[in-house]
Amino acid sequence: MMRAVVVDNELNAREGLETLLAERGDIAVVGSCANAIQALRTIRAVRPEILFVDIHMPKVDGFQLVAMIEPELMPCVVFVTAHEEHALKAFDENAVDYLLKPVQAGRLERTIGKIRHYLGEGGKPVYLSPAIERIPCVCAQGTKLVNAEDVEAVCSGETGVHLLTAQGEFLTELTLTLLEAKVPRMVRCHKQYLVNLSHVDVIGRVDPAAVQLRTRSGFQVPVTRRYLAGLKERLGI
């Protein structure tokens, strides 16, 4: 029995697909999400083998969602869309498959067959997903999306991963490793810190052993020796 999560901002579409999956009997729908943010949490919690995801969704679309999933959690992704042109792009992203809405049982059968075959051969899904553009953060009103290019540095602490921006600090559920991999010009400078090269203002030595960066908005970011050479190279100094 394979486990699947369905993500679509339209309840009807979601229910339609879930009904089709339930009728098959070989797939358990373990999560049903209306947007990418919910989906990220659900995927972390239930670790499904298959992800059915709508491409057009509010704020964070299907492609961005895939970019935000940690590689070790990556399920087989099936894009679902009403727009053929999106479907073609989905294929470029080398998704396992794509489905056109409204989903037809026969077409779904073929897709499931493909996935079964892929996983049976011991395949580990890896996708050429795009850079992350906006990072979902937790805030009092719900979810705030911070533009990735506005993030000056990222700090991982006991309370979680914080984005440091000119507008303040924001807590995100994405990991440091993922942000390092998926946000352009975001570079590791410390076990617990990333810095955005575009926002580095001053680089200096506090004492013979420690180097520190200051970002445009004045955040102090420590640099460990291990990352110093790489950082200098990226900065061109």
Partner 1 sequence: MFKLLFPLIQVVSFFLLVAYVYCKSPAYRLRRSELPGPGQKLALFVFFTLISVGGTYLGVKVQGAIANARAIGPVLAGLIGGPVLGTGVGLLSGLHRYSFGGFTALACSISTTLEGLVGGLVGLYLQRSTLQDRALSPLTAGLTMLAAEILQMLIILAVARPFADAWALVRVIGIPMILANSCGAALFMSILRDRRDIYDLAGDASTARTLRIAERTLDLLGKGFSREVAPRLATIIQEETDVGAVAITDRERVLAFTGLGSEHHRPGTPIMSEATRKAIATGEVVFLDGVKEPYHCTLDEGCPLGSALVVPLLVGHDVIGTIKLYEKASKRFLSINRTLGEGLANLLASQLARAHYQDQKELLVLAELKLAHAQINPHFLFNSLATIQSIMRRDEGRARALLDNLADFFRMNLKRNPELSTLQEELAHVNAYLEIEKARYQDQLSVVIDVDPRLLAFRLPTFTLQPLVENAIKHGVAEMLEPGTVGIHAYLAGSAVHIDVEDDGGSFKASPRGDGLGMSIVDRRVRNLLQDCPGLTVHCEPDRLTRVSLVIPCAAAPAGAA
71 part of the interface to partner 1, by CB under 8 A: no
Q: Which is nearer to partner 1, 16 or 222 (CB)?
A: 16
Peptide linkage before 48 cis (omega within 30 of 0)? no
Least Å from the CB of residue 38 to partner 1 = 9
Q: Which of 4, 5, 7, 13 binds partner 1 (CB under 8 A)?
A: 13
Taking the alpha carbons at both ends of the chain, their separation in whole angstroms is: 55
CB of 5 to partner 1, least distance (A): 17
Q: Name residues contacting partner 1, limited to 81-110 (CB under 8 A).
A: 82-83, 101-102
Taking CB under 8 A as the criterion, the residue among 5, 21, 33, 37 binding partner 1 is 37
Asked if 2 interacts with partner 1 (CB under 8 A), we say no
Give all strands of the β-sheet with 27-33 in edge-to-edge order: 27-33, 2-7, 50-54, 76-81, 97-100
Strand pairing partners for 196? Answer: 186
* Nearest by Cα to 118 from 64, 67, 50, 30: 50
Q: Which of 58, 71, 113, 160 binds partner 1 (CB under 8 A)?
A: 58
**Subset of residues 125 to 184 that bind partner 1, contact rule: CB under 8 A:** 142-143
Beta-carbon count within 10 A of 157 CB: 9
Q: SS3 letters for 33-45?
A: ECCHHHHHHHHHH
Q: Which residues bind partner 1 (CB under 8 A)?
A: 9-13, 15-16, 19, 34-35, 37, 58-59, 82-83, 101-102, 142-143
